[in-house]
Amino acid sequence: MATSAMLRAFRNSSIFPRIAPTYRSLSTLVLAEHEGGTIKASSISAVEAAKSLGEENSVSVLLAGSCASLKAAADQAALCHPSISEVLVAESDHFTYPLAEPWAKLVHVVQQKGGYSHIIAASGSFGKNIIPRAAALLDVSPVTDVTNIIESNIFVRPIYAGNALCTVRYTGSSPCMLTIRATSFSVPSTSAGSKPTLAPIDRVDLSTFGEDDAVVKSRYIKLSSEETERPDLGNARVVITGGRALKSAENFKMIEKLAEKLGAAVGATRAAVDAGYVPNDLQVGQTGKIVAPELYMAFGVSGAIQHIAGMRDSKVIVAVNKDADASIFQVADYGLVGDLFEVIPELLEKLPEKK
Ligand SMILES: Cc1cc2nc3c(=O)[nH]c(=O)nc-3n(C[C@H](O)[C@H](O)[C@H](O)COP(=O)(O)OP(=O)(O)OC[C@H]3O[C@@H](n4cnc5c(N)ncnc54)[C@H](O)[C@@H]3O)c2cc1C
């Protein structure tokens, strides 16, 4: 009796994997983020990820908003990647700000009509906010932080702060929902903006989109962001990062000056953020932003695994640290053992002014 109960429990558990779903027709819904009439680069990477699910995949991009910039974003989406077969636009005051509750409901509504095999968003705060809620409404488990797509249901994702890569097979029911690391799906320049014809733009029918409790659960208060001409940390070609060794917010300005000269974004370690030198949206790492610029320069950064997890995919890593045994040198392409308070002023002096 006890044995048969145990066997039943085992059979229901993941030890006996269910048959993997085979997608007879692949179709993907990409949840896209836009700002000022422009699709975020990370959302275009999500389209690139959708492309790698299979050649015959039909990719629809979902945009939502309520202002004039939505139209501009839709026009850009229709052109931005040759794999996009349709742009869906949901226009309503519910979507003036990208709040998770109305967006999750929107995804549910669109999925019920479209029956997509996959739903993908980039793994930024937008996607991480919406995908779990939408997955709960659709009663599926999302696969998060995907860095490689092997088959339409087999994915690679980092675990243990990026120290190991895990290959997972999605065995749940449709749709298979993913968040992808945008830095792992860079869009080749030939794909970006090279489509000769426009993808059609269709409006989402929101007649069934009632105003229930779930939709009004959260309220937008305000957005606080610093006016800066520096590039966005997540997409910058060059990132200059400072660690706790900078010792104060005042000293951290050296990092900012260097970033200005190089047209770079500023990054920081969690220790520098916790010490109050810079706001936490500049944190790079496991619990901060994941970046993969062409050049990553780290000043006074020890190279803790949680920090490395956010920058190890950078193309060229330069580290300056006064401790020759610092872990950052294990991942650096170029390392300089030296005092940042001497190295940075020298760099600032020798680098030409930005034109
Ligand atoms: C769950 C969890 C999540 C975390 N997430 C993150 C994350 O997302 N991002 C992150 O960064 N950290 C994260 N951390 C913290 C992480 O473990 C480290 O504590 C942190 O990265 C250390 O920051 P640091 O290198 O600036 O400081 P320290 O470890 O204090 O290192 C300072 C370095 O500066 C060098 N130095 C000192 N003075 C000078 C000088 N004058 N010139 C040159 N070099 C100098 C020292 O040799 C040292 O190597 C996380 C930790 C946990 C537990």
pLDDT at 88: 98
Name the amino acid, one letter, at 189: S
Structure confidence by residue, pLDDT tens digits, 283-327 = 999 999 999 999 999 999 999 999 999 999 999 999 999 999 999
Class for the domain spanning 238-350: alpha beta
- Range(s) of the chain covered by CATH 3.40.50.1220: 238-350
Residues in the chain: 355
Token duo for residue 338: 């030296």
Residue 301 is predicted with a pLDDT of 98
Looking only at the bridges linking them, the beta strands covering 176-180 and 143-146 are parallel
What residue owns the CA closest to ligand 1's atom 31? 302
Does the structure show a pLDDT above 50 at 187?
Answer: yes
Q: How far is the CA of 304 from the centre of ligand 1 (A)?
A: 6
Whether the predicted pLDDT of 328 surpasses 60:
yes
Closest CA to 246 of 292, 301, 285: 301
Q: What is the pTM of this model?
A: 0.82
Residue 175 has pLDDT above 70, yes or no: yes
pLDDT at position 22, please? 53
- Dihedral (C-alpha) 290, 293, 297, 300: value to the nearest 10 degrees? 0
Question: Most distant CA pair in the chain: distance in Å?
Answer: 80
Annotated binding site: 244, 269-270, 283-287, 300-307, 321
User: Given a cut of 60, is residue 168 above it in pLDDT?
Assistant: yes
Could you tell me which residues are annotated as the binding site for FAD? 244, 269-270, 283-287, 300-307, 321
Give residue 14's pLDDT. Answer: 43
Which pairing describes strands 154-159 and 148-151: parallel, antiparallel, or unpaired? Answer: antiparallel
Q: Binning pLDDT at 50, 70 and 90, where does residue 48 land?
A: very high
Q: Give the per-residue pLDDT at 18.
A: 44
Domain 17-203 has CATH 3.40.50.620: yes
- CATH 3.40.50.620 location in the chain: 17-203
Q: How confident is the model at residue 163 (pLDDT cuts 50, 70, 90)?
A: confident
Residue 153: phi, psi to the nearest 5? -130, 15
Q: Does residue 175 have its Cβ closer than 6 Å to ligand 1?
A: no
> Measured in angstroms, how far is the CA atom of residue 40 from the centroid of ligand 1?
30
